[in-house]
Structure 1
Amino acid sequence: MSRNRSRKKQLPEMPVRVTIESLAHDGRGVAHVDGKVVFIDESLPGEEVEFVYTEIRRDYAEGKVVSLLSRAVDRVEAACAHYGVCGGCSFQHVDSNAQIRIKQDLLIEQFKRIGKVEIPQLWEPLEGPHWGYRRKARMGVKYVAKKNRVLVGFRERRHPYLAEIDSCMVMHPIVGKRLIALGEMIAGLTVKDKIPQIEVAIGDDDCVLAIRVLEPPTEADKERLRAFGREHRMSICLQPKGPDTIEPLDGEPEVIPTYALPDQSVEFKFRPAMFTQVNYEINRKMINRVLDTLDLNENDSVLDLFCGLGNFTLPMARKAGRVVGVEGDLPLVKHARENARHNGIENVEFYAADLSKDISDQPWANRKYNKVMLDPSRAGASEVLHHFKKWKPDQIVYVSCNPSTLARDAGILVNELGYKLIKAGVMDMFPQTGHVESIALFEKK
């Protein structure tokens, strides 16, 4: 074995004093030391801090505050005792109103810098509950033999280890307040060290926990799981392999969670591992904003790209003449079709297609649409935008979970494809975190 193995660079131990200049896209403070940019957790613009390095790379460094020498007016005390250790949140040290303003300023800056586009009009931010809002999550599970304890929750900030937490304030309380009880229940299983994660799916009325098991649990284990589910009004499922293997415990009924859009008389059924928006109140407000903006009627032909299980498609179909939804995940497409049947909606079609590839031979891609809706993943939608030359929609509504790729795609639409940005804004889908959900409206010039 070679004796010249690379070693991790030794980090300076002495704190460094800096003034925070701005915020990065993920909410970390930005400063410069000897010409190198440093991203510092839990720091705000204008604050003077002492920090220590947590990582040094060739082009940038990372750090954490050890002493706060001056406080920004927007700084508040974090409500959660685990803040700073658990990596689930990154914005609890910021006043809730300031969080919205910071995210809005970030959106404006990204449009200018990345897309070379000015936002002519800002939508009023959409706001909802600041705590207890999260209904979908993948939580880690770890049996710690030295402590004879099972940890349930999220990873530590900037570390691969599971954080030792007893509750989560952003999770819906049916799960967020039961992490200790959940860990204690798992600690009593024979397979306690063979459970790496739990998929959490909370509908309007039901809570389903899909527990990943690397080895089959015993009958006694299953009875312990059943008892816990009944006590806490949860449906416990087992997942021996991939998401399609999730099944309820033997003898237990399958519980399929649902969420409703009362304003559109639409109800969605979904399975635990399927993507849904985590914040139902903001999701309902977001859908209402999209419908109000598109002002659909029976003469409209709408294309919904990255449609998922039809979150926008089905409510749009309540008003438009025809809606086509396209999604790359075939199981989601099948479920979207089931949801259309469940709601008695017939003027909608769903297709499975990889929207990062050439779609020119797809029958749905060779039709005309006067309005287009997009809700892509963090990677954005740049590969599919050149097809807009063929469709030539009058209006485009773009919902995004990543302002940088939205800004990039806005630049393509405005500077290359001849569209005009009408307005944009943020939606507080993920309070207490640096994640930014945003929306933009484009119209043909």
Structure 2
Amino acid sequence: MEPSPDRVAAPCPLFGNCGGCATQHLSYPAEARIKVAQIQSALARIGKIRNPVLRPILTGPDYGYRNRITVHNREGKIGFLGVDGRTLVDVSRCLLAAEDVNAKLAHLRSGSRPRPHYSIRADEVRGEAFYQSNRPLADPLKKLVVEAVPAGVKAVLEGYAGTGFFSAPLAAAGKNLVAVESHPAAVEVFRRDVGGAELLEGRFEDEMENALARLGPGPSACLINPPRGGLSPDARTLLAQAHPFVGILYLSCDPPALARDLVALADFWEPQWFQPVDLFPRTAHVECLVWLSSRLSPSGSPAVSPVH
């Protein structure tokens, strides 16, 4: 039996035991194809979207890209949990991590280690590190989001804004930006680092009405980047109704959660295109950016949903 041409030798000797990676045995083009197929499968199976408009997946380096790792310290070992989710695998160097992160890991291993786990970050702007773990794709992802907002849109309501990773470039592009974030540490970084944008502290679903009132006149859009579980029931209810937005830009880190949310929003919002983004190569995770346009007819009533 001939091995698949997509199969490669894993470069890390810990692969198969360490739970940090899932796809080192595949060529990177094969991994990217599989991740796109996972998005398609979730959209078809859960979202009943059979023929989505899928843009080419955005990729970067598949090794040496992470500017942040979290390691555990137990029983004289420091490293990652194993594939069983319990065993601690001793790790002296992570191939996914950037060189400066590995240097800090080596320094940590050589000294006293009183804490049960450590977050190791690259030396860079705190707001960047707080949000984005993939250093090479940080700027391409910002550019992707800014360019996805239609040119005629004057204002953007951003839910789950974090430290302002997207807020800053959107404000710099001339958008009237009103952001909502509930995490105190993220709020602190946002207020320190982001200029030209207004921030409301609280849950997206609680502050949405207030944020809408602050957008001002003119065409507006909504940008949401919820946690892995997707939108909360309250947030889905609020978005699944008439709004002044010309569209919603949704960045998801879990295709099944995205598909479930799209079902809930389907009466008012129609997906126009899907942009897969591989922020975490060699892992099972994949992101997807979606542009949803309003289904409202000129009368203000929901239009008949097209067949996908």
With the length of structure 1 as denominator, give the TM-score of the two structures. 0.61
Which letter does structure 1 place at the counterpart of 2:263? G
CA apart distance, 1:281: 1.9
Alignment deviations for residues 401-442 of structure 1 (CA, whole Å, 9 cap, x no partner): 11111111122222x3x2221110211110111111111111
Q: 2:175 & 2:110 partners in 1: Cα distance?
A: 53
User: What do residues 223-250 of structure 1 show as CA deviations (whole Å, max 9, x unaligned)?
Assistant: xxxxxxxxxxxxxxxxxxxxxxxxxxxx
Work out whether residues 68 and 101 of structure 2, in 8 Å CA contact, stay in contact via their aligned partners in 1: no
Higher relative contact order (Cα pairs below 8 Å, separated by 6+ residues): 2
**1:72 and 2:10 equivalent?**
no
Distance in structure 2 (CA, Å) of the matches to 1:181 and 1:143: 18
Match of 2:284 in 1: 434
Residue 88 (structure 2) pairs with residue 162 (structure 1)? yes
Aligned equivalent of 1:329, options 180, 183, 196: 183
Alignment partners' CA distance in 2, 1:371 and 1:133: 31
Paired position in structure 1 for 2:251: 399
Q: Aligned partner of 1:441: which letter?
A: W
Q: Secondary structure at the match of 1:425?
A: strand
Deviations 1:112-155 (A, max 9, x none): 111112343111111111111001121112242xxxxxx22211
2:250, 2:276 → 1: CA distance? Answer: 12
Instruction: Tell me what 1:129 maps to.
Output: 61
Shift of 1:367: 5.0
- SS of 1:336's equivalent in the other structure is helix
Any conservation in 2 of the 1:305–1:374 contact (CA below 8 Å)? yes
User: Equivalent residue for 1:295?
Assistant: 150
Q: Is the Cα contact below 8 Å between 1:119 and 1:424 reproduced in 2?
A: no
2:131 aligns with 276
Q: Which aligned pairs between 1:358-437 and structure 2 lie closer than 5 A?
A: 358-359=206-207, 363-366=210-213, 370-383=220-233, 384-388=235-239, 389-414=241-266, 416=267, 418-437=268-287
Output the TM-score relative to the length of structure 2.
Answer: 0.86
CA 1:387–1:367 in 2, change beyond 3 Å: closer, same or farther?
A: farther
Q: Which residue of 2 aligns with 1:212?
A: none
Q: Is the 8 A contact 1:397 1:439 kept in 2?
A: yes
Give the AA of the match of 2:203: D
Name whichever structure is richer in strand by fraction.
1
Q: Write the distance in 2 (CA, Å) between the matches of 1:351 and 1:281.
A: 30
Amino acid at match of 1:339: D
Q: How many residue pairs get matched?
A: 290
Q: Could you tell me whether the CA contact under 8 Å between 1:115 and 1:410 is conserved in 2?
A: yes
- For residue 89 of structure 1, report the CA deviation from its aligned partner: 0.4
1:311 aligned onto 2:165: yes
Structure 2 residue runs without a partner (length 5+): 296-308
RMSD of aligned residue pairs (Cα, Å): 2.2
Change (3 A) 1:107 1:443: same
Partner residue in 2 for 1:3: none
**Between the two proteins, what is the percent identity of the paired residues?**
27
